[in-house]
Structure 1
Amino acid sequence: MSFSCPLCHARLTRSEKSFTCPQGHQFDMAKEGYVNLLPVQHKRSRDPGDSAEMMQARRAFLDAGHYQPLRDTVAQLLRDNLSTPSAILDIGCGEGYYTALFADVAREKGAETYGLDVSKVAIRAAAKRYSSVTFCVASSHRLPFEDASMDAVVRIYAPCKAEELARVVKPGGWVITVTPGPRHLMELKGLIYDDVRLHAPHSEQLAGFSLQQEQTVAYEMKLKGDEAVALLQMTPFAWRAKPVVWETLAKQDEFCCQTDFSIHCWQREV
């Protein structure tokens, strides 16, 4: 399987150091091993996606194992639902923490694994660490893959148009989504908002897919002060947190915070 050109959608052919389409559009491989398939005209800002600080905070937090139950659960769902896949895609893969385990599952079944994110900083870090995955910088709303090329797509918090998922997933293939459950990070939100509200119940519908399975992964985390700060920094709540919140978290000997993940498994209609 190969990428498709983000400009003309033709198939890209790989040489030693670049990908090229029949129209002559060329995309060079970075020294870290990834390819940038996000043309400037598709960017919404100069450097879209997570910053270096956000990426580093997330890597430190995830490497400590705080979200490992979620990673293990999604990997097991891939293992259970895929028989003889050829390609798996992780959308919004960030620095590759989840993708690396998905790649282990893919190798067991003889499949390739692709990781996609709009953040070049995150993809560069992912490609440096995980050579078994093919990483690209690209838009999740314009997936640079051919029609019906993916056996499974994983989407952990990442946005993506349902039409694009329906286009790239093979008939009978799978989309696994992870979204915040109602009580996700309630204690952290309580430090930032006067009126703490539950996350709205999951209501997503994916045209062309049928919902086959849903489950919740929820548990309490006990975080050190620096870990709590890293958690805040990797969430959208960071933009709303006042200096006193950062200071309070940093001084915590132990900060208890609950997780609540909603996982949904969708199968592409045949």
Structure 2
Amino acid sequence: MSYLCPLCHSPLQAGENRYSCPAGHQFDRAKEGYVNLLPVQHKHSRDPGDSPQMMQARRAFLDAGYYQALRDRVVETLSGALAAHPGDVLDIGCGEGYYTHSFAPVAARHGGECYGLDVSKTAVRYGAKRYRECHFCVASSHRLPFATGAFAAVVRIYAPCKAQELARVLAPGGVVITVTPGPRHLVQFKGLIYPQVKLHDTRPEALEGFSLVAESALSYPMTLPGEQAVSLLQMTPFAWRAKPEVWRQLAEETAFHCEADFVIRTWRKAG
């Protein structure tokens, strides 16, 4: 599969060290193997996405295995979808590739390849350097640099994307697998930060052009040492609201008890 030029939307041809389109736009392939397809005019900040500190915290937490149950469930869901409709897989908002690389062997068993996309150059560099079996790119999830009908499945774990773009890049019969917070996901962190704790709203989003064909919940308790509790907080939107005393309290914990709670949904492209 070839990428599309983010400036003129023509197919990109792969050279030894760069990609180029017929209009003459060129994009270098980094030494780690990824390609940056996020032009400066498509950025909303100088360095969008997660910072190096956030990436390091994320990798430390995920490598410790606390979210492996979620990864296993998504892999199982993806395997079932590809058995019925084989092809390439796209992981939107792939971060440093923790989930992406586990999708690659599933795609390969069904004759496909796995692509990871994130707006964070830092995250993609981390992923591409570690997981050579996947194809990584820096790009906007709202302007996917792929041809119409390119994928059999798209995975979105907390990542935003326009329904029209999802429908465009999916082949007929393709699926989107989404992961969103369950009602009690990390409610104990909320209790440290907010005076009143509200549970997550779990109503399905409206994905125009798709029908919801499956939904499952996954919840389990976690006991985290202080270092991992701090890493997890850094991965969440709660981090922006946490006061210094919250960070200190978590860092001093020897066993912080909290809950992981997820909703996994499968959406099929209409028609």
Superposed CA RMSD: 0.8
Partners of 1:34 and 1:85 in 2: how far apart?
A: 24
Is the counterpart of residue 15 in structure 1 residue 9 in structure 2?
no
CA shift, 1:202, in A, is 2.3
Partners of 2:36 and 2:145 in 1: how far apart?
A: 11
Is the counterpart of residue 240 in structure 1 residue 241 in structure 2?
yes
Partners of 2:81 and 2:144 in 1: how far apart?
A: 23
CA shift, 1:49, in A, is 0.2
2:81 equivalent in structure 1: 81
Unaligned runs of 5+ residues in structure 2 are none
Partners of 1:117 and 1:199 in 2: how far apart?
A: 25
Please list the CA deviations of residues 33-53 of structure 1 after superposition, one character each: whole Å capped at 9, or x if unmatched. 000000000000000000000
CA shift, 1:209, in A, is 1.1
1:217 equivalent in structure 2: 218
Q: Secondary structure at the match of 2:267?
A: strand
CA shift, 1:12, in A, is 0.8
Q: How does 1:132-171 map to 2 (within 5 A)?
A: 132-171=133-172
Per mean C-alpha deviation after superposition, the further-off stretch among 81-90 and 99-108 is: 81-90
2:104 equivalent in structure 1: 103
CA shift, 1:214, in A, is 0.3
Partners of 2:206 and 2:99 in 1: how far apart?
A: 24
1:38 equivalent in structure 2: 38
Amino acid at match of 1:80: G
Q: Secondary structure at the match of 1:166?
A: helix
Partners of 1:150 and 1:44 in 2: how far apart?
A: 27
Amino acid at match of 1:79: S
Per mean C-alpha deviation after superposition, the further-off stretch among 49-58 and 77-86 is: 77-86
> TM-score, normalization: structure 2?
0.98
Partners of 1:163 and 1:89 in 2: how far apart?
A: 15
Partners of 1:73 and 1:150 in 2: how far apart?
A: 20
Q: How does 1:196-207 map to 2 (within 5 A)?
A: 196-207=197-208
CA shift, 1:81, in A, is 1.3
1:172 equivalent in structure 2: 173
Q: Secondary structure at the match of 2:96?
A: coil
2:115 equivalent in structure 1: 114
| Poorly superposed stretches of 4+, deviation over 6 Å | none
Partners of 1:212 and 1:86 in 2: how far apart?
A: 19
Q: Secondary structure at the match of 1:260?
A: strand
Partners of 2:183 and 2:71 in 1: how far apart?
A: 19
8 Å Cα contact 2:221/2:260 also seen in 1: yes
2:68 equivalent in structure 1: 68
Please list the CA deviations of residues 98-149 of structure 1 after superposition, one character each: whole Å capped at 9, or x if unmatched. 0010112112222110000000000000000000000000000000000011
The share of aligned pairs that are identical, in percent, is: 64
Please list the CA deviations of residues 144-182 of structure 1 after superposition, one character each: whole Å capped at 9, or x if unmatched. 000011100000000000010011011100100001111
Q: Secondary structure at the match of 1:24?
A: coil
Amino acid at match of 1:232: L
> TM-score, normalization: structure 1?
0.99
Unaligned runs of 5+ residues in structure 1 are none
Please list the CA deviations of residues 7-43 of structure 1 after superposition, one character each: whole Å capped at 9, or x if unmatched. 1111111111111111111111001100000000000
Number of equivalent positions: 270
2:132 equivalent in structure 1: 131
